[in-house]
Every structure is written in structure tokens, then in C-alpha cells.
Structure 1
Amino acid sequence: MFEKVVPVNKERHAQTRIKEITGFSFASKFHIAYVTMHEFARAAAIYPIVFLEDKEKDEFRPVALLGLDAGTNLFVGADGKWDASYVPAIIRRYPFALASSDKEGQFTICIDEGSELVSSTEGSPLFDDKGEPTQVIENVKRYLSELQQMDALTREFAKFLAAHNMLTPLNMRVRESAGIKNIAGCYVINEERLNNLSDERFLEIRAKRYLPAIYAQLISLAQIERLVTLADKRAGK
């Protein structure tokens, strides 16, 4: 999704403008999108939610499956429109992103200069004539700050699941028009282990307010059938 991400700078971006998002063609080749646990309830009604293992960082990250094949987002049509009622926050924040700064706990707002939404002539300016941030920057700062807080809580959630052996590899075979497809390489919450938790552990999960996200993830797996239907429809079957 991102091509040329650089920190927002009032000298470098004095004339930079951001065009309004009117389509999602930029996300047409992304078959996964990271979601925070706070998005699970809404996302689960549309997308399967699974966990991917980041071995380099030794952590698991929850993502919404947007397609069955790498490079294909089944929710973005040829016209660039998103064919679903909920768009993951990481998609909606484009072309902005947060990057860790040199100071612990602080982040820098970045922008993808390679995005077609970035212009020097069209859209809303990032800075005014005096070099002060416009409302665009203020809105982005607030939105990314909220997203960063949700991201931190989601990392703790995934760390808790992994630490208590509640994740298990997903191995599923689905039938689509082209034949049988194996869905693997990701993890889901193990329902049997959840049901066999001690009362003490279950109450701990409830106290941490993880239960809604856990049940939403389990329920979301039914949406894999939606992906199969969309894939068949796109293939003209």
C-alpha cells in the first residue's frame, strides 16, 4: 500500500495537498488488512479475522482476510468502490501512517508521497500560508493517536492469547469454482481450549474485556464462505 513514506515536515510539505478519498483502488491488491481488537465486532460481520505470526518481532497480529489469494482484494471493485459497510481503519487512514520516533512512547506522523492522493495543486493543504498545521493535520493527528492506543491494547491482547496457548493453526479447505483451496499459514483462537479454561483464567479474560473480541474472532470464520462467493462471482461462475 505504501510506496514512499516520509515524516510530515512543514518545509518539505509546505505546498502539499491531500485529495479526498473517492475510491479504494490503492488497496485493490491487498488481501489482508490489520485490524485492532476494537474493530473485531464490526469487521467480524464481513471479514474472517485471523492472526498472523511475525517471527521477527515474536508476536501475533490480527488481520481481516480481504481475499483468498495474495494480490486480490475481493472487496474493491473495478470502479474502486469498497463493496462492504465497514472499511478497516488502517485503510481509512491512508496515505498517513505513524512511525516510532527516537523518544520512547512518541511517534511521528508520516505521509506516503507516492500516493495518488498527494498533490501540489488539488485537495486540502497540510499547512497554511504561515507554515502552521491546518485542520487536516490536526484531524490526522487525533485519528492516528486513537489508532495507536488501540494498536497498543491489541498487541497486549495478542500477547496474552499466545502466552496462554490459546492460538492454534488454521487449516481449512474450501471449495471454489477453480477447485479446492487450502487456507493455512494463519492462526485462530482455539475454541476447545477456551471452553476448558479454569474459572480463574476465564474471569481474568473477562476482567481484561477480551471476551467480545474473542467471540467475534470465532464467529468471523463463517465469513470465509463470503470470500468464496465473492471469488466465484468475480470469476464469473
Structure 2
Amino acid sequence: MPNHVLLNSVDHKDLRVITARGAAYGDAVMSALTFPAEFRELQASYPIVFARTADGMSFDPVALLGFEEGENLFLVEDHETGQARWDAPAIPLTVERQPFMIGRGAEELSVHVDLDSPRLSTAPGVGEALFLTYGGTSEYLERIASVLRTIHEGLTASRGFVAALMELELLESFALDIELDDGSQNRLAGFYTIHEERLLDLPAERLERLNRAGYLQAIYMAVASLSQFRGLIERRNRANRDRHAQRARAGFDAIRV
């Protein structure tokens, strides 16, 4: 269970955050919540699709990182260091902000932290400091505060964006059937994409309204991002080949011993 508390310089003066990437730090996730203002940057690396909200009444845009729960195909091993790294030029902000989240007080937004996160440390020199030795916040924490504000504003704006898509019936469910190089058959389902034919059939005044609201560009970015499925499939093939190679090496070593 997460242990969210309000971050403060008294109780958390020695707290540091490990910024390395890896499954051990909670990065092994299939998707990351995103928002229209982030689509331009993310669409060059990730397919952007829509998932139903928990109450089934709306949708959230998400960047796909893998094809099944717990799979992040952008986490790869750096052969020089033996450590995991994120193999893409941009990391979704909702991933980057971990282990922080934004809280709403009586008058202003505040930074909260999950004290049970594996990213936290109090060991000297391990991770990024949050507070300076003689008072004040570190550049890292200021960056995180900026990221949290961007996420908050982005998710707030996203509600209007999704409402417009739903009003115009521009979301459709899809299923992606995939045959991998090892011959296995796989299907990705349960997500939604932009209904391109319906988009093309919209009258000019509807398109103009979407454009004035700043939504039209985000729609086309989401459509363009679907080309990244090819890259995601190749990442899955590469991950399968690496696993097979590792098993073969392990079997060889066992026989040799």
C-alpha cells in the first residue's frame, strides 16, 4: 500500500531519490497516463491509445510501453554498465514524477511523496537530494514541482479533450493481432483509438471548433503515434530473442559445470 505524505523540509531533510531506471524501481509497467500537451513529444516513440476509466464513464489517453501487464519494452540492459536504462528520448511525465504526486490543499497545490517507494534513500550520496544542507529546495525538487504542475494542468485539460472526442463519437475500440518472429500469436485488445473515417467526415465547423479548442493537433498526433506499433512489436521480438539467448547460455553453463 502506498504511504503518501506531504513533503516537508523538516521530516524529510535527508531524503534522496534514486533516479536510475529499472523494474526494481516500479518502471515495469505496460502503459503510462498521458495528456494532449505531451502527445507531440511522446508520439515519436510510443503508441498513444485510450483506456476506459475505472467507472467506465470516460477515457484516459495512455502511452503504451508493452503488450501485457508488467511489461515495459523500453527498459533495456546497458551492456556496458549492466544496469537498466530507458531506451527512448522522452519518458512520460507520469513515470518521471515517481515517487511524487500532487496534493490539493485548502488554497494551493502541494507536493506529496510515497514513503514506501523503492526510489527513496537516506544514504549519503545515493540519489538526488531534495533539500539543501543549509535550507532551501534542490534543483531536482524544483524540477519535480514543475513536472507535477505540468501533469496537473495537462490532466485537467485532458478532461475537456476526451469529452469532445466522446461527444463527436471519435473513439472506437480496436484489437491488434500480432504474430511474433517465434511464431506465437498474440492479441492486444481493450483499448480505443481515434475513429479516422468519422474524423474525416466531420463538417468544417466541427473541425474548426476542435482546432480553436486546441484539440485537433492532439488528435492527429494520437493518430500518427499508431505507427509506433511496428517499433513496439520489434522490441518484443528483440526481448524474446534476448531471453532465448540467455536461457541457452544458462543451459550451456549448467552442462559445462
Per the shorter chain, which TM-score range? 0.7 to 0.9
Residue of structure 1 equivalent to 2:250:
none
Q: Distance in 2 between matches of 1:221 and 1:137?
A: 34
Output the CA distance in 1 between the equivalents of 2:136 and 2:41: 36
Per mean C-alpha deviation after superposition, the further-off stretch among 52-61 and 127-136 is 127-136
* Partner residue of 1:121 out of 116, 120, 123: 123
Which stretches in structure 2 are left out of the alignment for 5+ residues? 78-82, 245-257
CA apart distance, 1:145: 1.3
Give the TM-score normalised by the residue count of structure 1: 0.87
RMSD: 2.3
Quick one: structure 1 residues 172 and 129, their matched pair in 2 at CA, closer, same or farther if it must change by over 3 Å?
Answer: closer
Quick check: 1:47–1:65 contact (8 Å CA) kept in 2?
A: yes
What is the distance in 2 between the residues matched to 1:166 and 1:204? 14
Q: Provide the C-alpha distance between the structure 1 equivalents of 2:44 and 2:132, rounded to a whole number of angstroms.
A: 41
Q: How many angstroms does 1:28 deviate by? A: 3.8
CA pair 220-107 structure 1, distance change in 2 beyond 3 A: same
**What is the distance in 1 between the residues matched to 2:219 and 2:227?**
14
After TM superposition, list the pairs within 5 Å mapping 1:1-237 onto structure 2: 3-19=2-18, 21-25=19-23, 26-56=25-55, 58-78=57-77, 79-101=83-105, 103=106, 106-122=108-124, 123-128=127-132, 132-176=136-180, 177-236=182-241
SS of structure 2 residue aligned to 1:185:
strand
Q: Which moved more, 1:226-235 or 1:137-146?
A: 137-146
User: 2:196, 2:16 → 1: CA distance?
Assistant: 48
Identical aligned pairs, as a percentage?
28
Select the structure of larger CA radius of gyration.
2
Q: Which residue of 1 aligns with 2:252?
A: none
1:41-74 Cα distance to aligned partner (Å, 9 max, x none) = 2211211110011142732110011001111100
Can you give the 5+ residue segments of structure 1 that lack an aligned partner in the other structure? none
How does the TM-score come out when normalised to structure 2?
A: 0.81
CA separation of 1:93 and 1:165: change in aligned 2, threshold 3 A: same
For 1:24 and 1:159, the matched residues in 2 are separated by 35
Query: Aligned letter for 1:22?
Result: A
Shift of 1:129: 5.8
Letter in 2 for 1:142: S
Matched positions, count: 233
